[in-house]
Amino acid sequence: MDFEIGLLPNALGLFGVACNVGWPFLRGRSAMLWGQTVGCVAFALHYLLLGAHTGSLMAALAGLQAVLAIPLGRDPRFRVIYLATLPVIAAAMVLSWMGIASAFVAVAMGVTSVGRYQTNEVPFRAMMLACIPFWSAHNVIVGSIPGLLSDALSFAAGAWMLWVTVRRLRAVEPSLP
């Protein structure tokens, strides 16, 4: 790979890593979703420059979906708008199909979509962790080192913050499982 050509996608990927590692430490669903949005934009550009078109489209749509998920906790009527992103994601995946990498990213987006639909912080965090193995498989196939770094670090950060959140909630409500 030409160093000059590889520098920009890797810089964007590393910025995305910082965002993806940082958002789990934010408090509150809205703040976490805004953090995800910025990381999604960085990774959409990273994947585009790598030629991973399905990954790029899915990351861009994930960013849009994260923004649209913010009002779900405040206004349940917004669920219809959020759910309208699902057929768009499916169409983009089909139109940009690049083989098995596209299949993994499609599953990742399905799990992510279910996670963002959650208005409770614990299932939200848990589903965000559950999508990471599928993103990892995609990143191995398309050769995204920043993507794999992001997966590993954001899984660690996300698991830690899920544990912290559950402990905090149990301290407030001891009868929780």
Instruction: Kindly report the pTM of this predicted structure.
Output: 0.85
Helix axis angle for 53-69 and 29-50, nearest 10°, is 160
Residue 108's CB: how many other CB atoms inside 10 A?
Answer: 24
pLDDT band at 176 (very low <50, low <70, confident <90, very high): low
pLDDT band at 3 (very low <50, low <70, confident <90, very high): very low
pLDDT of residue 72: 86
Which among 15, 25, 90, 22 is positioned nearest to 54, based on CA atoms? 90
- pLDDT, tens digit, 9 for 90 and up, residues 9-63: 999 999 999 999 999 889 888 999 999 999 999 999 999 999 999 999 999 999 9
Residue spans per domain, the chain: 3-172
Residue with tokens 């993994």: 104
How far, in Å, are 38, 77, 114, 139 from residue 15 at the CA level?
A: 9, 34, 25, 16
- 3-class SS of residue 113: helix
pLDDT of residue 171: 87
Higher pLDDT, 3 or 109: 109
- pLDDT, tens digit, 9 for 90 and up, residues 76-134: 788 899 999 999 989 998 999 989 999 999 999 999 999 989 989 899 999 999 999 99
> Is pLDDT of 177 > 70?
no
Q: Which distant-in-sequence residues (6+ apart) come within 8 Å of 36 by Cβ?
A: 19, 20, 23, 62, 63, 66
- pLDDT, tens digit, 9 for 90 and up, residues 163-175: 999 999 888 877 7
pLDDT of residue 5: 55
Check: CB of residue 129 under 8 Å from CB of residue 20: no
